[in-house]
Amino acid sequence: MARAGTHIVGLDIGTTKVCVLIAEPHGAGAIDIIGFGSAPSRGMRKGVVVNLDSCVASIKQAVEEAELMAGCSVDRAYVGVAGAHVRGLNSRGVVAISGRDHEVTRDDVHRVLAAARAVNIPPEREIFHVLPQEFMVDDQDGIHDPVGMTGSKLQANVHLVTASVTAAQNLVNSVNRAGVEVEEVVLEQLAAADAVLTPDEKEMGVALIDIGAGTTDLVIFERGAIRHIAALPTGGEHVTNDIAVGLRTPIPEAERIKKKHGCALAGLVGDEDTVEVPSVGGRKPRVLSRQLLCEIVQPRVEEIFSLIAEEFARSAFDRSIHAGVVLTGGGSMLEGIQEAAEQSLNVPVRRGAPAGLGGLADAVATPQHSTVVGLALFGARRRESRPQKTVHPFLLARVGDMVKGWLSELF
Ligand SMILES: Nc1ncnc2c1ncn2[C@@H]1O[C@H](COP(=O)(O)OP(=O)(O)OP(=O)(O)O)[C@@H](O)[C@H]1O
Ligand SMILES: [Mg+2]
């Protein structure tokens, strides 16, 4: 099989599914999709590998499917990372502009970003993104690119993203053992945002909520940059479990009933609507009112959005979300969830799915695939700003490269 030389591969290892996307870049960050593979995920819980062998087997299965479709082999991939072990913090760096004529050089920018990331991180954590928010030259703030400006003091505000070293290493090991090198580990929210948010939304202020199976991941953008990230330990599988317990039906049936008849707002469901519910232990199926189903689903959805509201308040950016909320991830496909979010959060809400792609775009045009599409888009931008280079299989050796990567992307 031909090697996927210039192709870009995104790999999303979720709680329910592993997805692989092979894309062909064609300039200005645009991609054509040429291969897609998906396999049930085993061995992951809330963004963390809990069974390495099962995780490796799922990755292999998804990779093989994508390779068959694309007719080329996958050697390396941009891999998504998320979950409760991932944290973000805002930081600031200041340096003197010492060069000729006090003009800011690329080297000064590099130094100020290095200063901004020089914060005390516990030894079991590692920084894997340094995301510049804005620069200041003396008292002038809100600068996107300070190179060439004159002053005596350069300051940078950044968002640092850290991950547990062991959790990230286990993820990298699983991918390596499936025969794929990790080109870069990318924050899943950052990737999903690439796939579903518009530049205007990011500029005005927007919150992207990715409702997965095991976790709900949040990212807040304002003035074009990431300001806050969080992962909540509740997602679609909790809704399914509630249905299984509440209606006394097996989990696979509860999952099917949720997708077909579930609704996040009881007010949207007619009083006469009914649902047939299979029983456990060989008992006869029952016919129950759909209202009853919604009474189980609604409180769990409300809980998710009340946790989100608390996170908004904690972020101090709750007043900056002028473009509202965008829901994505498989959990956002639940009927009525948009209306439920509007009621709970009191902002306009839309559902976001990948759009504007070429090639086999239909295969991934649903909210479940925002992350994997975003990983490929991230990779396409990265390749344009930074020509291909040797890949280190270990995360730890790569942080310096990340900073350089972000630098080259800035200018
Ligand atoms: N039509 C639908 N209606 C309601 N829920 C749905 C629908 N389709 C998928 N889901 C739910 O979406 C969840 C899976 O979403 P997704 O594929 O984004 O998760 P994941 O990436 O595997 O998990 P995570 O991101 O938490 O690791 C499941 O809980 C599933 O029940
Ligand atoms: Mg996911």
Parallel, antiparallel or unpaired: strands 125-137 and 140-143: antiparallel
pLDDT of residue 1: 61
Q: Do residues 12 and 68 both lie within one domain?
A: yes
Residues with CB under 6 A from ligand 1: 14-17, 41, 47, 212-215, 235-237, 240, 255, 258-259, 262, 329-331, 333-334, 368
5 has pLDDT over 80: no
Specify the pTM: 0.93
Distance 326 CA to ligand 1 centre (A): 16
Interval between CA 254 and ligand 1 midpoint (Å): 13
- The reply to whether 256 falls in a domain is no
The DSSP bridge partners found for residue 274 are 289
The region, left, alpha or beta by phi > 0 then psi within -120 to 50, assigned to residue 140 is beta
How do residues 166-215 score in pLDDT, each as one tens digit?
999 999 999 999 999 999 999 999 999 999 999 999 999 999 999 999 99
Q: In angstroms, rounded to a whole number, what is the distance separating the alpha carbons of residues 197 and 182?
A: 25
CA distance 301 to 297: 6
Q: Is residue 250 situated within a structural domain?
A: no
Total domains in the fold of the chain: 2
The C-alpha atoms of residue 88 and residue 104 are separated, in whole angstroms, by: 28
Residue of minimum CA distance from atom 12 in ligand 1? 330
Q: Compute the distance from residue 35 Cα to the ligand 1 centre, in Å.
A: 22
Given a cut of 80, whether residue 251 has pLDDT beyond it is yes
Name 230's bridge partners: 218
Residues 52 and 181 reside in one and the same domain: yes
- CA of 170 relative to ligand 2 center, distance in Å: 17
List, in order, residues 6 or more apart from 138 with CB less than 8 Å away: 151, 152, 153
49 plus 173 within the same structural domain? yes
- Please determine, for residue 391, whether its predicted confidence score (pLDDT) is greater than 90: no
99: burial class by Cβ within 10 Å (0-12, 13-18, 19+)?
Answer: exposed
User: In terms of C-beta density within 10 A (0-12 exposed, 13-18 middle, 19 or more buried), how is residue 314 classed?
Assistant: exposed
Question: Which residue, chain included where needed, has tokens 């200063």?
Answer: 115
* Domain housing 141: 87-162
d(CA 152, CA 141) in angstroms, rounded, equals 14
Residue 401 has pLDDT above 60, yes or no: no
Is residue 71 located within the same domain as residue 130?
no
CATH number, domain with residue 50: 3.30.420.40
Which residues lie near ion ligand 2 (Cβ < 5 Å)?
A: 14, 212
Give me the pLDDT at residue 388, please.
53
Output the CA 45–ligand 1 centroid distance in Å: 13
Site to substitute for ligand 1 among 11, 12, 16, most atoms within 8 A of C-beta = 16
